[in-house]
Amino acid sequence: MSWTRRHLLDIQSLTAEEIVTVLDTARALKEVGRRAIKTFPALRGKTVVNLFVEPSTRTRTSFELAEQRLSADIVNFTAEASSLRKGETLKDTARNLEAMNVDFIVIRHSAAGAPHFLARVLQAHVINAGDGAHEHPTQALLDLFTIRERKGRIEGLNVTIIGDILYSRVARSDIWGLTKLGARVTLCGPSTLVPREFEQLGCRVTYDLKEAIRDADVINLLRIQHERQRRTMFPGVQEYIQFFGINPARMAWTKPDVLIMHPGPINRGVEIDSETADGERSVILEQVTNGMAVRMAVLFLVNGGRGPQEVIAA
């Protein structure tokens, strides 16, 4: 099928076929990335603004490198420097950028829904690079890409997500993407951070780590973000490690071919110990590599690219 969307705002509104189109396009672009000269000039003459109102060097760098390889012109517009500090509204900032003939806005913002708002008021293509605790769609797409590349499929796999599900945009996007493609999702963590309500999204919820990981084909560990979690809900780091930290002793409970994933940056010694993070089951760095191909694919598709066949033909 051909892609027709002008924006990438979330995973929730995508069909399974659309997700597969992104993954197939990313696979074709990953092949392109192996050539000596790594550019594929689909965005030549187009301007991308990376509008990061929340700081994030990794995701911003991944997008920036993806944009460079598509030969886009790039402007980085960070909150620290911006007139948003002077009290200007997001709408005015975005409309001003559009008035400068900007073609794409990649936005990270602390407010859930900010990218959807921009997509309604702008002609430019909008890509959500993380909005509050709502969604982080390119992270979910790179997670799906990595699982499919390693396991050959998504359908029928058992995927366990461990950590602060309640406040995680990564978890939300992953849940939508995994369930749409037919995986069975288990959520695990402290009960204050993994409410039973998530069962309504089609997930299994358990507070028992052994039960959560015993049958898992994939374990996705979320970063424990001390800064964001509400103090009253978080049980304390030592208690978290004791009940939910992944280490070689807990890895002994898992299937031998389980994949260990993490969106980064890792808190070594908290949600995962170094031996496991750097071990042979870990695909954490592959996720980073795949993130570039997935972000190239998203930019290519919202720009009017039809799908992988167009990359392969180029």
Cα separation of 314 and 309, whole Å? 9
Contacts of 2 (CB under 8 A, 6+ apart): 21, 306, 307
Determine, following the binding rule CB under 8 A, whether residue 123 of this chain makes contact with a copy of itself. no
How many residues form the binding site for a copy of itself (CB under 8 A)? Answer: 53
| For a copy of itself, the closer CB: 69 or 184 | 69
Q: Give the per-residue contact string, 221-250, with a copy of itself (x = CB under 8 A; - = no).
A: ------x-----------------------
Shortest CB 44 distance to a copy of itself, Å:
7
Q: Left (φ > 0), alpha (ψ -120 to 50) or beta: where does 106 sit? A: beta
| For a copy of itself, the closer CB: 247 or 289 | 289
Structure tokens at 98: 């559009």
| For a copy of itself, the closer CB: 9 or 94 | 94
Residue with tokens 């110990």: 273
- β-pairing, 218-221 vs 259-261, is parallel
Determine, following the binding rule CB under 8 A, whether residue 86 of this chain makes contact with a copy of itself. yes
Determine, following the binding rule CB under 8 A, whether residue 36 of this chain makes contact with a copy of itself. yes
- Which residue from 216, 210, 125 is spatially nearest to 178, judged by alpha carbons? 216
| For a copy of itself, the closer CB: 15 or 89 | 89
Q: Give the per-residue contact string, 259-298, with a copy of itself (x = CB under 8 A; - = no).
A: -----xxxxx----------------xx-xx-xx------
Determine, following the binding rule CB under 8 A, whether residue 314 of this chain makes contact with a copy of itself. no
- Which residue from 270, 277, 192 is spatially nearest to 235, judged by alpha carbons? 192
Cα separation of 27 and 22, whole Å? 9
Contacts of 249 (CB under 8 A, 6+ apart): none
- Would you tell me which residues interact with a copy of itself (CB under 8 A)? 33, 36-39, 44-45, 47, 49, 55-58, 60-62, 64-65, 68-69, 73, 75, 77-78, 81-83, 86-89, 92-93, 95-102, 227, 264-268, 285-286, 288-289, 291-292
